Structure 1
Amino acid sequence: MDTNFSSNISGTILNHQWNKLHDWYEGDGEHIRFIGRFLAPLTAYWLVGGFFMIVDTFKPNFLTKYKVQPDEEVTMPRLLGALRVVLINHIISVPVVLLFHWIEIWRGCDMGRDLPSIPRFLIDALGIVLCEEIAFYYSHRLLHHPRLYKHIHKKHHEWTAPCSITAIYCHPVEQIFSNLIPVYLGPLVTGCHTSVQMVWFFIGLVETCFSHSGYHLPFCPPPEFHDFHHMKFVNNFGAIGLLDRLHNTDNLFKNSVYSKRRRLLLRFTPILELYPEDREKKTK
């Protein structure tokens, strides 16, 4: 199939709007990529994180029934403390984002006026996801080494029942090497178009915020995989579970009720009611 033809079928309107964006920036693709790498993840993070902050603050019954650890409550003082760490990590992220922007310019990543074809988009997206899974899994598992855990990663695990904004509640070293680099590595390796990168940043941060949210809402990404990691500390080191399955570091998870609950909820009955079981003890 001609990839250009494939792109023209579904992408004409989008491509026209993308060209209007380029015209607005006077054809400066580097500027668009620079703005997009900040705007896309920040928008995703605070849309989802802000929503769950409101939920955890006011605790409406019609939503709290979807908590995956219902006995754990998020208190306002603790939430505000986490928020301070999160804002610091946002500031720390700026020089790393700038560094990757300059490297991508040097590498020659696609910053052009034409959107990629659908096959090209999908190939690059797959490459990005695999790069992130590899980099995140091994960096995250390394941070669980006893010599590193107590100095760095233990801060993130102060939340055994995480809430959405704690996705980047962590030590600055972890923020750089286990959060930022795995996310930015894929676009750098694939050399993908700016639009692919922006979609990746947005969807990736939305999924990350949901996985830390502590809520399994209908028609939303299920949080059980990473929530289980916060409960047990010893399983589920990856983002999508591919390398956990390869290394058998999901053995406890896949034999638990939480594995059964890791599915898209297509009804309004809480997942704990659909797959009930005595709550497992938290172990450290």
Structure 2
Amino acid sequence: MIFFNLCFEIEFYLKIAISCTILQQIFYWLLHNVELKFLTQVLLYWVVGSVSFYSIGLFIEKVIKKNDTLREKLTARVKKVKKQPFPSFTAKGIIIGEIRSLIAALMIVYLAPEVNRGNSLLLNLGWFLMRIIAADFCFYVTHWLFHRKFLRKIHLKHHEFADSSSFVAGHKSLTEYIIVSITDLLPIFIFGYDITQLCAWTIIGNAYNLEGHSSLSIFFVPSDFHDLHHTCFKGNYGIQGFWDRVFNTLNPPTKKSGIMFPVASLENLTIKSSSRLD
């Protein structure tokens, strides 16, 4: 069981790192002969992040969830909660969100050290693997603090929803957004950044964040890990369960097996085989 739990978390990290590496190669192919100055890098990073956030979120909500067969097959939520109406998009909300995103992109590109890593597959895979593990740890610590009494009010806006929808991922107070953005800087300060890596990271980061709040297991999210966090308001503070296992704050999720989640499928087969032998 411990072995499968470890493999379960490694599978998530590897999916993120490999997906980011593939996308980084595409961005490198498109941009390696182009001289990108500071402002161009900021605008590129911002546009890629914003377009991917809305397009992935709308695809999940308006395409996948509208298909009854897909929604039923991919639903990760096990513990049912009362359905809630989610806030509708407004021009004011979108504009404020985009200003926040632009400022965050400006901060990251201005403050973090730039390192040109080229198109080395191993170097970029290693960077992304370290990046997701470090980002998960930073997020775990910050998120755990948000659930302590002295910071809880900052986080309550995000927890207006026990039921969850993709765009709840961006439903935060301004203070929380600033703190999370600063936290996201820390791994980049440690490892430096390449603009092609940042563009790849923001797309994949949006993908797993939106999926994690959608109550679906599509590709990256292998359980109802984050659904349980919104339902119970405690435990499961990380992006995925590794650091929660380490610090004993895990609210055990129900794993989603299937072709996209081979570790959970293999664990199920092993349990079934053992029960037959017994």
Category of TM-score, reference length = shorter chain: 0.7 to 0.9
Cα pair distance change 1:87/1:232, threshold 3 Å: farther
The equivalent of 2:31 in structure 1 is 21
The equivalent of 2:58 in structure 1 is 50
Contact kept in structure 2, 1:187 and 1:197, CA below 8 Å: no
Contact kept in structure 1, 2:46 and 2:101, CA below 8 Å: no
1:249 is the counterpart of 2:246: no
By relative contact order (CA 8 Å, sep 6+), the higher-ranking structure is 2
The equivalent of 1:203 in structure 2 is 204
Cα pair distance change 1:63/1:92, threshold 3 Å: same
The equivalent of 1:235 in structure 2 is 235
The equivalent of 2:168 in structure 1 is 166
Match of 2:104 among 84, 93, 96: 96
1:132 is the counterpart of 2:139: no
Q: Compute the TM-score of the two structures, normalised by the length of structure 1.
A: 0.71
Cα pair distance change 1:246/1:20, threshold 3 Å: closer
| CA distance in 2: counterparts of 1:204 and 1:143, whole angstroms | 21
Aligned to 1:142, the other structure's residue is in SS state helix
Cα pair distance change 1:121/1:22, threshold 3 Å: closer
The equivalent of 1:3 in structure 2 is none
Contact kept in structure 2, 1:213 and 1:223, CA below 8 Å: no
CA shift, 1:248, in A, is 0.3
The equivalent of 1:260 in structure 2 is 254
Cα pair distance change 1:120/1:102, threshold 3 Å: same
Q: Compute the TM-score of the two structures, normalised by the length of structure 2.
A: 0.72
The equivalent of 2:3 in structure 1 is none
The equivalent of 1:157 in structure 2 is 159
Q: Which residue identity does 1:185 align to in structure 2?
A: L
Q: Which residue identity does 1:230 align to in structure 2?
A: H
Measured against aligned partners, the alpha-carbon deviations of 1:44-91 in whole angstroms (never above 9, x if no partner) come to: 2112211233259x844223424426664353xx33169965653332
The equivalent of 2:185 in structure 1 is 184
| Structure 1: unaligned runs, 5 residues or longer | 1-9, 275-284
Measured against aligned partners, the alpha-carbon deviations of 1:73-119 in whole angstroms (never above 9, x if no partner) come to: 353xx331699656533322322321222113xx3x12x4x724122
Contact kept in structure 1, 2:57 and 2:166, CA below 8 Å: yes
CA shift, 1:220, in A, is 5.6
Identity percentage of aligned residues: 22
The equivalent of 2:83 in structure 1 is 73
CA shift, 1:223, in A, is 5.1
| CA distance in 2: counterparts of 1:223 and 1:175, whole angstroms | 25
| CA distance in 2: counterparts of 1:138 and 1:167, whole angstroms | 18
Cα pair distance change 1:262/1:177, threshold 3 Å: farther
| Structure 2: unaligned runs, 5 residues or longer | 1-20, 269-278
1:120 is the counterpart of 2:128: no
Q: Which residue identity does 2:48 align to in structure 1?
A: A
Measured against aligned partners, the alpha-carbon deviations of 1:98-146 in whole angstroms (never above 9, x if no partner) come to: 1222113xx3x12x4x724122112211221122112111111111112
Q: Which residue identity does 2:45 align to in structure 1?
A: R
| CA distance in 1: counterparts of 2:148 and 2:126, whole angstroms | 34
The equivalent of 2:12 in structure 1 is none
Match of 1:40 among 31, 44, 48: 48
Cα pair distance change 1:84/1:222, threshold 3 Å: farther
| CA distance in 1: counterparts of 2:242 and 2:200, whole angstroms | 22
Aligned to 1:210, the other structure's residue is in SS state helix
